Amino acid sequence: MAAAPADTSGLVLALPGSESGARDFAAELGWPCEPVRRHGFPDGESRLTLPVEMPARVVLFSSLHDPDAKLIALMLAAATARELGAHELILVAPYLCYMRQDIAFEPGQAVSQRIVGRFLAGLFDAVYTVDPHLHRVHLLSQAVPVARAVALTAAPEIGRFVLAQGMRPLILGPDEESLPWVRAAAQQGGLPHAVCRKLRLGDRAVEIELPQGVAMHGRAVVLVDDIASTGHTLARCAALALGAGAASVDVAVTHALFAGDALEVIRAAGVHRIWSTDAIPHETNRIRIAPILAEALRGA
């Protein structure tokens, strides 16, 4: 891949579906933002159109939820940006898809993290994302082998947002894996924090144990995690906390996938408020991530 040019200014290209986030990000950088226009053909194929005037440094901005169609658009846009003169091509993907499966659990399974990571590395000089859902692989560069693979966290922003609500709650994580996010959010105001213990029995079946020795009675609790998908884990944690006497339970997550009836499941468990970052556009968005993404890119 080509080295970065000396000029640090550039252009943000907004992939379809990510226009709002791209404009916010570009405004933080002070860069222009242009849409990548898509025409859909009756057979399901796409035609993308990019601006003809392309600077040396270009960011493609796309949050990669609902990824199967978006990855094709990303491939077409990246190749076209190169042809039009982009020297350094950067992917900013607030949500990065296909990061969960890092091994084959059964013979013949595709290790999607490795495959998609190499695909992205073949298109871009750098990748920036927020709270990627990594398990056995701990560094983004191991999953996406580019020169600059930057994984940021929204947890401090979540912590500051919670404090701005006039609360000093217990920050609670749904499982041991959530500890880094819980700790980082709690550190913003010296808040107490703890994590539950989770045993997953299937895609929608989990067993949860509240942390031992942590009093819930009469306390406000905020459940913090990197991602909310089916909502069942968060719902179970909320129900247990309320059953143990918590005065209230709210939820704050980075990635608002909320598949199917997830919101209804969480609310039915007694959760009061649900907040998310705008990494994935959703009705629960309250916390901007453009500032942390722009700060990271400016510092590169």
**3 within some domain:** no
Q: Give Cα 186 to chain centroid, integer Å.
A: 19
**Which residues make beta-bridge pairs with 244?**
none
- On whether both 26 and 145 belong to a single domain, the answer is yes
Kindly state whether residue 82 falls inside one of the protein's structural domains: yes
Same domain, 81 and 224: no
Identify whether 1 is part of a domain. Answer: no
Residue 110: domain span: 11-153+288-298
For residue 281, give the DSSP letter.
Answer: -
Q: Give the domain CATH number at 228.
A: 3.40.50.2020
> What is d(CA 150, CA 255) in angstroms, rounded to the nearest whole number?
17
CA 256 to chain centre: 8
Q: What is the mean pLDDT of the chain?
A: 93
Q: Do 91 and 73 belong together in one domain?
A: yes
pTM for this structure? 0.93
Interatomic CA distance for residues 215 and 222, integer angstroms: 14
Residues 189 and 85 in one domain: no
Low-confidence ranges of the chain (pLDDT < 70): 1-8, 200-206
Cα(295)–Cα(231) distance, rounded to whole angstroms? Answer: 31
Asked if 294 and 147 sit in the same domain, the reply is yes
Asked whether residue 135 falls in the same domain as residue 195, the answer is: no
Say what the pLDDT of residue 3 is. Answer: 41
pLDDT of 84-95, one tens digit each?
A: 999 999 999 999
Is 144 found in the same domain as 61? yes
Look at residue 1 in the predicted model and tell me its pLDDT. 46
Based on the fold, state whether residues 147 and 272 are members of the same structural domain.
no
Same domain, 159 and 149: no
Q: What is the SS3 assignment for 42?
A: coil
Determine, yes or no, domain membership for 135: yes
Strand (E) or helix (H) holding 93: strand 88-93
How many distinct structural domains can be found in the chain? 2
Q: Are residues 118 and 32 in the same domain?
A: yes
- The verdict on 149 and 36 lying in the same domain is yes
Tokens 């222009």 found at: 32
47 and 159 together in one domain: no
Task: Please give the pLDDT value at position 203.
Answer: 59
For residue 70, indicate whether it is catalytic.
no
Write down the catalytic residue from 198, 236, 255, 282. Answer: 198
